[in-house]
Amino acid sequence: MRNLHLATAAAAAALWAGAAMAGNAPGVTDTQITIGNTNPYSGPASSYGTIGKSIGACWNWVNDTGGINGRKIKWISLDDGYSPPKTKEQVRKLVEKEKVAFTFQTLGTPTNSAVHKYMNKKKVPHLFVATGATKWGQPKKFPWTMGWQPNYQTVGAIFGNYILQNHPNGKVAVMYQNDDYGKDYVIGMKRAMGDAYAKQVVKVETYEVTDPTIDSQIVSLSGSGADVFVNISIPKFAAQAIKKMHAIGWKPAHLLNDVAASISSTYKPAGVEKAKGIISVDFYKDPNDPEWKDDPETIAWRAWMDKYYPGGDKDNKMNAYGYAVCHTMIEVLKNAGDDLSRENIMKQAASLHKVHIPMMLPGMFADTSPTDFYPIEQMQMTRFDGTRSIRFGPLISAETE
Amino acid sequence: MTSIDTKSMAIPANPATTSVLFGVKLPTLKLAVTIIGVALALILPFSVESFTVFQLTQVLVYAIAVLGLNLLTGFNGQFSLGHSAFYALGAYTAAIMVDRYEIAFYWTILPAGVICFIGGFLFGLPALRLEGLFLALATFALAVATPQLLRYEHFEGFTGGVQGIDLFKPESPVGALGDDQWLYFVVLVCGVVLLVGARNLTQGRTGRAMMAIRDNPLAARTMGINTSLYKSVTFGVSGAYTGIAGALGAAVAEFVAPDSFTFFLSVWLLVGMVIGGLGSIPAAIVGGLFILYVPNISEALIAQFFGDDPSAKALIGVAFGCFLIFAVYVMPNGLAGFVRWFVVRYARPGV
Amino acid sequence: MDQFLQQTLSGLANGAIYASLALAVVMIYQAIDHFNFAQGEMAMFSTFIAWQLIAWGAPYWVAFLVCLAISFIGGMAIERIIFAPIHDAPALSHVVVFIALTLIFNAMAGFTWEFTIKEFPSPFPAELPFKTTLIGPHELGIVGITLIMLGLIYVFFRFTPVGLAMRAAAASPDSALLVGISVKKMLGLGWGLAAAIGAVAGMMIAPVVFLEPNMMLGILLYGFAGAVVGGLTSPGGAVVGGFLMGVLENLAGAYVIGSELKLTFALVVIVTVLLFRPAGLFGRVVVQRV
């Protein structure tokens, strides 16, 4: 019986090796690796398009500096307008027609959901998708798909725990964006707070991305008498909320999600004085925080922006995000060496051991294993003091399902 | 005066059947074009790769939806910016039947049509009182509200909420055909049935009544046409066509989610209809091709001109907009209008 | 009660935003007898021009006026260059061109100014002379500006020869030509004025919602709704409609159905109003002659 097991293991190993040596993935030659991507470059979600653009700029830089192990990157990034059927079409085009080795940072939850099964059926690496949903880290069910950023539920849980510890008797008001992103935060909060959620949360409001303003929601929330406000919104609405709260004189403890925790795209437009005291979480550096003025990585990032993405906005934190995720990919490809089979690329992506990624907060790293498909799981809480976001408390590691 | 003038969109009457173009009698020419079209539709899926077959299937799906809209606007003069709602209703009907009740996909197409017919008919009743821009706003409202309703938490048990529903396209029962080719033919058969249906509908008594209402509602009523009934039924039929397209589209994309059915889908269907040509049935195919391929062409053009410059991606919308303007300049009455004009201009009276 | 008052007032402030855009919608409707679906994006683009001028160091009012001038000329140019050649094309073909313009303006703004939200200054003092948390100075300012614009438009269409000629040219181009009105000129002028009014609306809206290329997406819907509910032929109706939309939306969201279905509810109201008043609250019913 034991021998049989051994034999099976040996056969499996041989198979693995066979697969690994079966040759490189489509799209890989001695001089080039073709990588596919979709991003919303047009349509109502086009503000996210800068992530795809900054990654494109990153590959231009990689190619100018000699490529990876002698291979240049061919980056094919297509517009899906944030429409799932179009994503399906574009991803099929990338895989079947453009013959990309793998896709990287395809953006959006509904859009990636549309190709989730397809990529796994086709056994094409679906790497570091640009969404914080929890479903991207299921190595057993979906061995070819991997997320990157800390998932939204984790952040929600961090807020939930913070409330339990610091405002055990506080009355909580919640506002979230009425889509998967907003709802995931609330799920995380509920998970962390348990019964306390129903007891402490006195008012919940939602908004649509197409809402002109959220003034009405803020008025309702302030009327609930809450002294803690969990604000799950994108920068535009976060800034509106900060302004409106100031105007009506509502001053709860303000917990703002990481998506909007940016000095130049949220606090400055709203007025830094009004944003003072906001508590948030983060995992990468806000390049406009004076804290990182002399930080070598941020200086390098600025120089790179100037040279490779001059049209890009240095006030936009997403361009630092794109830079960081691109460096994660570079690491994986470097580790893969000359074995650029799809199996090996996936294997390398699943064996990042405490890798430091530029623009991440100090002490943080990307870490994966064959059973852990969540590369970045640490975050740190911050408090905005009027000029910079002061980090406080330990690095919080997410509990991963 | 406050209406979007659909009368002037009516395409000039058919030239005499005895006219001659390129030395061929018109009916013969028409037959030849039809035969070539059918032959192409049958041969293409075997001569291109399966990705292109998938794209062509999507083209057919859009064509059916455009046809549905055209029945309403082109033939009946009612303006709608809300057809994404019917498309969504059809898609969700199919997806829920397949996912929750494990019904084979083929059996969901007709129910999707029936449900959307009822939906369209019911929406058509209040729409009776609205004309032109007022109807446009009411339908616009419907389209905008659709994703919000699909996400509504009390419907989540059915709709899957923000996560949407996965479904698989039917597997090919014929060994010689791949799954993509099989689905193509399923959609093609549906499309041909619907196309012939639309042709018979519009060329018969019903069609004349529909067009009479479009051209002069008052006169139509005087002649004893029950305008209310015809208008609501047309809304229902139009909804059913678009709903069937939605069900087929759900199988093509193998996924439905609220974000798949935003108001922009309505806009693209409208654009497809206008570019194809109002009041023309075959023009729907041109509309489908336009909706699918022109954004891709715009994208390729920008990539061609600007290469790796990351900022240039933002210009895809500009290229697409220019294409639209160009299309309207060259063919203000759509391709169908252009063809009619060409025939009228160059056909010679025959013997 | 304080809550209710606050919701109503914040609804009025939102309503002023919709009303100012609704005015631009009615303006172009009076001039070309049609909706301009690109109105929102044109207003957004104008606002970006003003923002750029201010960023370059121009004082607010200089930027404001220059922006108005540029928008006016730009509006006329769009009519001359883009719409004049397809003047005889069917109405729905014009709609396609409007959609095209929407895409082009949106993409151009994103390309030029990126998508990070921008702060746009308010011309009004930072503090009100009396103390209240119910309404902010800028919100009050928008209400004022909207009413002033309304007054100007009313006077323009009612009492000035140009305004009368413009209405005539839109309502009945052939008869207008017969009495010696240059329909062409009127069209261009209408476009210019609509673009300028849109620019004012944009510059009033931007300090509230923050400036970015997709700023008008949601507002346009409510602006159109306001204009239609009020009655497309009546500037006063459009303003009332805009305010109504703002207040209704807030109160429904806060007290009736919750924010999750706010939009759906607002739209049900629109359809209901239209069922009972098919030409809008203040619109003229057009009687058709047989």
Q: What angle do CA B201, B206, B210 make, to 5 degrees?
A: 105
Name the residue with higher pLDDT: B143 or C128.
B143
User: Cα B298 from chain centroid?
Assistant: 21
Is residue B238 assigned to a domain? Answer: yes
User: What's the CA gap between A273 and A270, in Å, rounded?
Assistant: 9
Is residue B109 assigned to a domain? Answer: yes
Chains with 3 or more CB pairs closer than 8 angstroms to A?
Answer: B, C
Q: What's residue A14's pLDDT?
A: 44
Q: What's residue A95's pLDDT?
A: 96
Mean pLDDT (whole number) for B102-131: 91
What percent of chain B stands above pLDDT 70? 94
Mean pLDDT (whole number) for B96-113: 92
Q: Is C103 within 8 Å of B321 when comparing Cβ atoms?
A: yes
Cα of A256 to nearest chain B Cα, Å: 22
Q: Is B260 within 8 Å of A83 when comparing Cβ atoms?
A: yes
Q: Which residue of B has its CA nearest to C284?
A: B2
Read off the tokens for B346. 């160059």
Q: What is the DSSP string of B50-66?
A: HHHHHHHHHHHHHHHHH
B128 close to C (CB below 8 A): no
pLDDT of B175 above 90? no
If you ran DSSP here, which 8-state letter would residue A296 be given? H
Question: Over the stretch B206-263, which tens digit does the pLDDT of each residue have?
Answer: 888 888 888 888 888 888 888 888 899 999 999 999 999 999 999 999 999 999 999 9
Q: What is the count of residue pairs from A and C with beta carbons less than 8 Å apart?
A: 113
Strands A389-397 and A378-384: antiparallel
Read off the tokens for C247. 């207040």
User: What's the CA gap between A220 and A242, in Å, rounded?
Assistant: 15
Q: Which residue of B has its CA nearest to A39?
A: B313
Q: Is B163 within 8 Å of A46 when comparing Cβ atoms?
A: no
User: What's the CA gap between B41 and B45, in Å, rounded?
Assistant: 7
Q: Is C259 within 8 Å of A216 when comparing Cβ atoms?
A: yes
**Closest Cα to residue A94, out of A135, A140, A35?**
A35
Chains with 3 or more CB pairs closer than 8 angstroms to B?
Answer: A, C
Q: What is the count of residue pairs from B and C with beta carbons less than 8 Å apart?
A: 146
Cα of C5 to nearest chain B Cα, Å: 28
Residues in C touching A220 (Cβ below 8 Å) = 3, 7, 253-254, 259
What percent of chain C stands above pLDDT 90? 34
Q: What's residue A235's pLDDT?
A: 92
- H helices of A249-317, where? 268-270, 272-275, 296-308
Question: Which of B137, B318, B325 faces C82 most closely, judged by CB atoms?
Answer: B325
Is residue B25 assigned to a domain? Answer: no
Read off the tokens for C253. 């969201």
Compute the radius of gyration of chain A from its Cα atoms: 22
Domain count, chain B: 1
Instruction: Tell me if B158 sits within 8 A of B243, measured CB to CB.
Output: no
User: What's the CA gap between A38 and A103, in Å, rounded?
Assistant: 8
Q: Is A81 within 8 Å of B166 when comparing Cβ atoms?
A: no
Q: DSSP 3-state assignment of B42?
A: helix
Q: Is C262 within 8 Å of A316 when comparing Cβ atoms?
A: no
Q: What's residue A58's pLDDT?
A: 96
Mean pLDDT (whole number) for B273-297: 93
Q: What's residue A398's pLDDT?
A: 66
User: What's the CA gap between C134 and A123, in Å, rounded?
Assistant: 59
User: What's the CA gap between B224 and C201, in Å, rounded?
Assistant: 49
pLDDT of B289 above 90? yes
Burial of B166 (0-12, 13-18, 19+ CB in 10 A): middle
Compute the radius of gyration of chain B from its Cα atoms: 21
Q: DSSP 3-state assignment of B272?
A: helix
Distances from the Cα of A141 to the Cα of A88, A127, A137, A138, B162, angstroms: 20, 15, 9, 6, 21
Q: Is B262 within 8 Å of A178 when comparing Cβ atoms?
A: no
The per-residue pLDDT of chain A, averaged, comes to 90
Q: What angle do CA C38, B260, A325 make, to 5 degrees?
A: 95
Q: Is A89 within 8 Å of B58 when comparing Cβ atoms?
A: yes
Mean pLDDT (whole number) for B134-161: 85
Q: What is the DSSP string of C21-34?
A: HHHHHHHHHHHHSS
Lowest mean pLDDT among B74-78, C120-124, C183-187: C183-187
Count of other CB atoms within 10 angstroms of residue C148: 11
User: What's the CA gap between A192 and A189, in Å, rounded?
Assistant: 5
Question: Which of A50, A239, A312 faces C210 most closely, judged by CB atoms?
Answer: A239
CATH topology agreement for domains A9-150+295-378 and A152-282: yes
Name the residue with higher pLDDT: B304 or C50.
C50
Largest CA distance in chain A: 75
Instruction: Tell me if B88 sits within 8 A of B306, measured CB to CB.
Output: no
C4 close to A (CB below 8 A): no
pLDDT of C76 above 50? yes
Q: Is B320 within 8 Å of C103 when comparing Cβ atoms?
A: yes
If you ran DSSP here, which 8-state letter would residue A179 be given? S
Cα of C158 to nearest chain A Cα, Å: 33
Question: Which of C6, C18, C217 faces A210 most closely, judged by CB atoms?
Answer: C217
pLDDT confidence of C285, banded at 50, 70, 90?
low
Instruction: Tell me if A196 sits within 8 A of A252, measured CB to CB.
Output: no
Q: Is A316 within 8 Å of C111 when comparing Cβ atoms?
A: no
Q: What's residue C264's pLDDT?
A: 78
Mean pLDDT (whole number) for B284-312: 92
Q: DSSP 3-state assignment of A261?
A: coil
Q: What's residue C1's pLDDT?
A: 62
Name the residue with higher pLDDT: C225 or A100.
A100
Q: Which residue of C has its CA nearest to B1?
A: C286
If you ran DSSP here, which 8-state letter would residue A284 be given? B
User: What's the CA gap between A107 and A85, in Å, rounded?
Assistant: 14
| Window B:280-319, CB contacts with C under 8 Å | 311-312, 314-318
User: What's the CA gap between A56 and A73, in Å, rounded?
Assistant: 10
Read off the tokens for B136. 């446009």
Cross-strand partners of A390: A383
Cross-strand partners of A364: none
If you ran DSSP here, which 8-state letter would residue C277 be given? S
User: What's the CA gap between A222 and A274, in Å, rounded?
Assistant: 16
Kindly report the length of chain C.
Answer: 290
Cα of A55 to nearest chain B Cα, Å: 8
Lowest mean pLDDT among A345-349, B94-98, C89-93, C132-136: C132-136
What range does the domain containing B255 cover? 43-284
The per-residue pLDDT of chain C, averaged, comes to 87
Question: Which of A223, A236, A248 faces C212 most closely, judged by CB atoms?
Answer: A236
pLDDT of C233 above 70? yes
Question: Over the stretch A296-353, which tens digit does the pLDDT of each residue have?
Answer: 999 999 999 999 999 898 989 999 999 999 999 999 999 999 999 999 999 999 999 9
Residue where the block lists tokens 């429904």: C252
User: What's the CA gap between C5 and C10, in Å, rounded?
Assistant: 8
Q: DSSP 3-state assignment of B69?
A: helix
The structural architecture, per CATH, of the domain A9-150+295-378 is: 3-Layer(aba) Sandwich (3.40)
User: What's the CA gap between A298 and A300, in Å, rounded?
Assistant: 5
B274 close to C (CB below 8 A): yes
Cα of B318 to nearest chain A Cα, Å: 10
Q: What angle do CA A329, A333, A335 make, to 5 degrees?
A: 115
ipTM over 0.95: no
CATH number belonging to domain A152-282? 3.40.50.2300
Burial of A142 (0-12, 13-18, 19+ CB in 10 A): middle
Residue of C115, C128, C264, C265 to mutate, interface with A, max A Cβ within 10 Å: C115
Distances from the Cα of A4 to the Cα of A13, A335, A376, angstroms: 14, 34, 39
Is residue B308 assigned to a domain? Answer: no
Spell out, as residue ranges, where chain A has pLDDT lower than 50.
Answer: 1-4, 6-21, 400-401
Sign of CA dihedral A347, A350, A353, A359: positive
Residue where the block lists tokens 């309703």: B149
Is residue B14 assigned to a domain? Answer: no
Count of other CB atoms within 10 angstroms of residue C28: 25
User: What's the CA gap between A393 and A159, in Å, rounded?
Assistant: 13
Residues near A158 by beta carbon (within 8 Å), at least 6 away in sequence: A188, A192, A281, A379, A381, A396, A398
Q: In what order do the strands lie in the sheet with A102-104?
A: A72-79, A32-39, A102-104, A126-127
Residues in B touching C232 (Cβ below 8 Å) = 2, 133
Q: What is the pTM of this model?
A: 0.91
Mean pLDDT (whole number) for B340-347: 84
Q: Where are the domains of chain A?
A: 9-150+295-378, 152-282
Q: What's residue A16's pLDDT?
A: 46
Is residue B66 assigned to a domain? Answer: yes
Question: Which of C10, C107, C111 faces A219 most closely, judged by CB atoms?
Answer: C10
Distances from the Cα of C228 to the Cα of A224, B332, C285, angstroms: 35, 27, 13
**Closest Cα to residue A30, out of A68, A61, A70?**
A70
Read off the tokens for A47. 């503000």
User: What's the CA gap between C12 and C248, in Å, rounded?
Assistant: 9
pLDDT of B9 above 80? no
Q: What's residue B16's pLDDT?
A: 61
Question: Over the stretch B46-95, which tens digit does the pLDDT of each residue have?
Answer: 999 999 999 999 999 999 999 999 999 999 988 899 999 999 999 999 99
Q: Is C119 within 8 Å of A268 when comparing Cβ atoms?
A: yes
Is residue B13 assigned to a domain? Answer: no
